[in-house]
Structure 1
């Protein structure tokens, strides 16, 4: 199903958004495997080389609480909508039959209304994505409908995704209205709330207790607003099973699992970067430059629309300086100044804390005339208009212009495309300040608030722009500034706007006019000003440099992440040869995806391709549970113990477990089988790409074959039974993959193609000792036998360099299993050797599969490539003893 954006274009995940979802899914895999939040977080980052990542902060004990750092305009809401399915696949698998409930928290009523409107709209991409992931069974609830119990009952929420939208204040309970969710509520009496779920400060029938009983997944939008002790208490009160934070500016208690950099957004045309910051001599020139640039942008936008059909109406945000007691007068005077310049009043709007002339106005509509918005700091989170291009500060010259709150509002890119005219791909800030460096600091802070940095703006100083000497007949609006004066002390005396902005000097800037295209909506074209040309030339040059940087950058590695890694480069003497290496991997032909395109393309072979027609529910169910001994029983007892870092959705209190077991045993056998199958399927969790329903059906068949005594034993030792069943499923699926892989090789459905490139930097979590001829400045630590092997190989006279392959991020032989060999070696003659070591004392149960896959790879890879599996003394068939391997390698 293809989702459509606001302008009808397809709305799919951008590359960086897909990477965020993969990051989250990878973390969830670690969580499933280790069943310890702290260990999962540490291992997740260690395996990626981010050894300087801060330790996990256990904000809500027993609840995984992670954060995604995404800059403003990065599509946080769409990301969260896509994140819900992988989270629920782990937290509440479909096979459990339990309700799937989300509490989606936002910081303001503005954002709440906007979010509710979008999710309730069946044509909106957010809702379409939820419908796709949850089979169309999605219901949206606001606080009011919940309190009334409207469509919210145990039967209604069964089998659907229930999305509850609330503001932070609803849960902080500061006033009487917000207290309602903590008060008695007969409308919710049909919900069965256990004593263990009750919040002491709330009535047993209160909405908050119903939510607690449902163990929701919590999404916290703009989570930097929810760091206080009160906000953490708010999260604890919800008794969530999982918490996902989304913010541009994570706080100190955030557990970040994915970073998105500004360059990734620029590459995907999500933002108008860089921000070009101009410092002008006075406020008159701020207004003049802003008006002329806006007129130029609209002229360019009209011309571009004729080619692309995409409508843009550039808007200026005039930011007045707050002056106690005079705000209303100040805004009205700015508006009066613009009207004197013959700008139609309909094109001007005021948006302040007290005056909101934008309420109900669709700024993106072609019918909307607004081109100028006057504000102070009222355009905060939740206000959004991609047409806002220019921020013009009218603060005093002696002030460091406080653009921090507003600069993020001019960053979003219209239509999310690269416009043909470069000036339409940037945003602009004009100021007139003697404290320009302080102003730039405010710009940086504003970018920081939006999730960007000091790398994302370019300053154009007055010295970079030539100005003409003014004359009385035609005053120059771009004259150099007067000499700098000492910073003025704070004062309560303010000159009026009329005294600071010389309307007479601006008369040539905006003239009479209608709204024809040639006159650019009330502003007829005038002879281009040379200074404006210089300013836009600087902007164009900055855009070219920034765009190239975005194109060339590794957007998967943000500076935030890089700062937490120990990175080591390829040694310069090997760089040329290393860059030339492309190690083959297995590929499969897949449809190209074009609407009318019948052609196919190559895609990296994954296990999910091989398992496409795998039906677990029909597979062999023979299992021997007799081997579950006392040691395994001890493990079962430990799994039910208390641990603040064990995910609460994986915990079962021992007393509750005993009661639940007794209840199940009191049921008829069919019901016992059904309940046990559901419990074990939930404990097994996600085994993608095998469907939950296939796992449930398979386990049910196993349960049906158990005796009454075995069913009772399974209830007591469920973790041990789960381990055996999961191992059986893995073996069955791998056997199936191996057969399909062999068939596809025979029929040439699988091919090899040069693919894997050695990265120019690596970030090993543990550094090994210095061994001759290593490819990188430092290599990942190897175990004892591995170290001995590579030391012997590295000292062979024909070896040019070697590299310790990094599992999960390095080269893999992809097939019916993913095999990450230990070493990649290059000989002086150019042979590439892939080497796997196996100690005689190790469990080598997977060695046969690895060798079979690797032999198939070697046959397909070509004469340049060799594979060796090396044992110390006792090789399996087809592998080598170390001494024999050294003799062969020395001859290559």
Structure 2
């Protein structure tokens, strides 16, 4: 897989900033010059994104790229590693601390990086001669293939969550303790002034700090708390590369990707078509009917030379807090009573993960309905997810912004001949539909898109499962 034009432009911006940094040897000046070369003065600009360089992590270059959801942030970061390491001395250990915002994204990232057939790993291997080793926190703590000799001869990627070094829990404190598995490292320490007070000489966090890692922060807007900034300072980074769709105030942005670039490159299913119904039963039955309609279109597309697509519905249930809530157990029971095979239904909540070992993109997978609450947040990636059906009570706020981004990625990064396969869909039964629309716009904004990227479809239909008009209403979706 090669970079899209807009992704290559991000790498070009990174390279241009590094060139300025090497020329000026001053981070804030390099940042100002970088934008000055584009005809923009950050000293005069009053902008919500572009400001003077923020030096929260003292003396370390930290830059941000703003890329909308589904824009390929991780692939951009994989390509950025070579650009960053090429600016360092050849003998500097090639160590990357790759931070992700949650355990679910950590597992997905680990899986992708360890898979030699995955585009991420293939790109990294091609840039570093396949001398690449990927570690999670446990393999680092136990020294599994992790020692000074290995580190010197390869690119070492540590995949870590933002909670990995938290001192507020027992697991986080393990990285500060004496560790006989890492006893070989202190003899190679090169930064005596960067030793971490209170951490043992053989502690994992001490080792990482002495390796002076390049830091990649995925979804960096989750990393702005003061304690996390303190942790970044402690681990002695050599360069910090942030990626997010929604930069925070202190972000040092060097590259913007707009939503139009993603649309032109067929990265996203837009616009979002929004239906509002009278009650949750209508939401469920209409979502099922639309899934059947989309799957029929997908089969027709495949018969005419297209690739396999199995459209998936995400049912957003309510937390178990009262008897009348539409909880995930009730939704599953209702789907089975309607006649949906149990093998097509999976639950994904904080406590129950039935899709953990499912390859949702496989033509052997049967899953067509995933029931969640808010467990499918940033980083969960399945382009086959087309429909978000939110089942909030009429009196409840519809919290669709939490997972709307999960249905935006377009399968196979190409426009499909069957137009319905190029859009994403939201069903609600909100009594305050204007409030719901505000939340959808907020969700699009958080994903890096705008209020122009949705359409309202009037739909108040009785018994949608057996109504031919429903199918025709889906066929007549307009994006004008």
TM-score of Structure 1 vs Structure 2, range by shorter chain: over 0.9
- The structural deviation recorded for 1:402 is 1.5
Alpha-carbon distance in structure 1 between the residues aligned to 2:158 and 2:339: 49
Aligned to 2:2: 12
- The structural deviation recorded for 1:255 is 0.9
Higher relative contact order (CA 8 A, sep 6+): 2
Change (3 A) 1:321 1:39: same
Deviations 1:294-330 (CA, angstroms, capped at 9, x unpaired): 1111111001011224111111112223351449973
Number of residue-to-residue matches in the alignment: 470
Change (3 A) 1:315 1:150: closer
Given that 1:321 and 1:395 are in contact with CA atoms closer than 8 Å, whether structure 2 keeps it comes out as yes
Pairing 1:460-471 to 2, within 5 Å after superposition? 460=457, 462=458
Q: What TM-score does the superposition give when structure 2 sets the normalisation length?
A: 0.93
Local SS of the residue matching 1:273? coil
Matched, 1:116 2:110: yes
Matched, 1:508 2:447: no
Alpha-carbon distance in structure 2 between the residues aligned to 1:356 and 1:113: 13
Aligned to 1:153: 147
Change (3 A) 1:536 1:436: farther
- The structural deviation recorded for 1:38 is 0.7
Given that 2:326 and 2:393 are in contact with CA atoms closer than 8 Å, whether structure 1 keeps it comes out as no
Q: Which one is further off, 279-288 or 155-164?
A: 279-288
Query: Out of 274, 280, 291, which is 2:288 matched to?
Result: 291
Pairing 1:450-469 to 2, within 5 Å after superposition? 450-460=447-457, 462=458
Aligned to 2:98: 104
Local SS of the residue matching 2:164? helix
Q: Which one is further off, 252-261 or 389-398?
A: 389-398
Matched, 1:38 2:25: no
Given that 2:315 and 2:369 are in contact with CA atoms closer than 8 Å, whether structure 1 keeps it comes out as yes
Alpha-carbon distance in structure 2 between the residues aligned to 1:325 and 1:298: 35
Change (3 A) 1:151 1:318: closer
Given that 1:397 and 1:434 are in contact with CA atoms closer than 8 Å, whether structure 2 keeps it comes out as yes
Pairing 1:784-863 to 2, within 5 Å after superposition? none
Aligned to 1:139: 133
Alpha-carbon distance in structure 2 between the residues aligned to 1:283 and 1:142: 42
Change (3 A) 1:327 1:25: farther
Given that 1:400 and 1:436 are in contact with CA atoms closer than 8 Å, whether structure 2 keeps it comes out as no
Alpha-carbon distance in structure 2 between the residues aligned to 1:61 and 1:424: 48
Local SS of the residue matching 2:351? coil
- The structural deviation recorded for 1:152 is 2.4
Query: Out of 433, 448, 463, which is 2:430 matched to?
Result: 433
Change (3 A) 1:289 1:176: closer
Given that 1:399 and 1:435 are in contact with CA atoms closer than 8 Å, whether structure 2 keeps it comes out as no
Aligned to 2:121: 127
Aligned to 2:89: 93
- The structural deviation recorded for 1:428 is 0.5
Matched, 1:396 2:386: no
- The structural deviation recorded for 1:78 is 1.0
Aligned to 1:337: 334
Alpha-carbon distance in structure 2 between the residues aligned to 1:98 and 1:338: 57
Aligned to 2:363: 366
Local SS of the residue matching 1:404? helix
Local SS of the residue matching 2:274? strand
Alpha-carbon distance in structure 1 between the residues aligned to 2:122 and 2:465: 51
Matched, 1:186 2:180: yes
Aligned to 2:344: 347
- The structural deviation recorded for 1:27 is 1.0
Local SS of the residue matching 2:86? helix
Given that 1:389 and 1:411 are in contact with CA atoms closer than 8 Å, whether structure 2 keeps it comes out as yes
Matched, 1:533 2:476: no
Alpha-carbon distance in structure 2 between the residues aligned to 1:267 and 1:507: 35
Local SS of the residue matching 1:165? strand
Query: Out of 275, 279, 285, which is 2:276 matched to?
Result: 279
Change (3 A) 1:331 1:145: closer
Change (3 A) 1:342 1:104: same
Q: Which one is further off, 21-30 or 277-286?
A: 277-286
Matched, 1:234 2:217: no
Gaps in structure 2 of 5+ consecutive residues: none
Q: What TM-score does the superposition give when structure 1 sets the normalisation length?
A: 0.51
Aligned to 2:443: 446
Pairing 1:618-629 to 2, within 5 Å after superposition? none
Alpha-carbon distance in structure 1 between the residues aligned to 2:224 and 2:102: 15
Given that 1:400 and 1:442 are in contact with CA atoms closer than 8 Å, whether structure 2 keeps it comes out as no
- The structural deviation recorded for 1:244 is 0.5
Given that 2:178 and 2:202 are in contact with CA atoms closer than 8 Å, whether structure 1 keeps it comes out as yes
Deviations 1:353-373 (CA, angstroms, capped at 9, x unpaired): 333322322221212212122
Change (3 A) 1:446 1:289: same
What is the Cα-based RMSD across aligned positions, in Å?
A: 2.0
Larger Rg: 1
Aligned to 2:71: 74
Alpha-carbon distance in structure 2 between the residues aligned to 1:62 and 1:458: 47
Alpha-carbon distance in structure 2 between the residues aligned to 1:38 and 1:327: 56
